[in-house]
Amino acid sequence: MAVRQKFWRSLSPSLFALICLSFFLPFGTVNACGTTATTTFTGVQLVTHTVPHGGAMDETRRSEDVSVWVEHHSSLPATVAFAAAIIGFVLGLLGIARGPGWCAATVLFALLWLLAAFTNWGVDARWGYGVALLLATLTSLVHAVRAGRRWAFRRRTFANS
């Protein structure tokens, strides 16, 4: 196998692995308005529902801790993104051609969903989230190009037969 083929074959699992690693970086910070409640969390803490306690948001919410609030609004998209990245990594290692592209699209969609949740609820996205979003976009583009090449190859093959 040529070096170029090895590079392109290992690119997808490498990008998915980097996306998974970016979940260990700071993902967001919450500063609740009018209170001292604040917390910073990683993507893994969102996925595992272990966001650090940051204090009560206000008295009208029965002193609900800001960590409970963050987990309630942001854990599902983070879990979807992380699970799709792991599945894409495994499929890429196994050399399956079509599955990782769908996983890349799912990761990108879930991270954009998470950004919408962050924006709606006043969470400041941190650099770990930015790295994950950038890598998910790059992975989606790589798989879109691969799908286009497969489609063009099939079209040429059927046109010649």
* E strands in the chain: 26-31, 38-42, 123-125
Residue boundaries of the structural domains of the chain: 3-160
Mean per-residue pLDDT over the chain, rounded: 87
Give the tens place of pLDDT for each residue, 112-134. 999 999 988 878 999 999 999 99
Torsion over CA of 76, 101, 11 and 46, rounded to 10 degrees?
Answer: 0
Q: State the pTM of this model.
A: 0.87
**42 three-class SS:** strand
Altogether, the residues listed in the chain come to a count of 161
Give the list of residues 6+ apart from residue 107 with CB closer than 8 angstroms, or none.
16, 19, 81, 84, 85, 88, 136, 139, 140
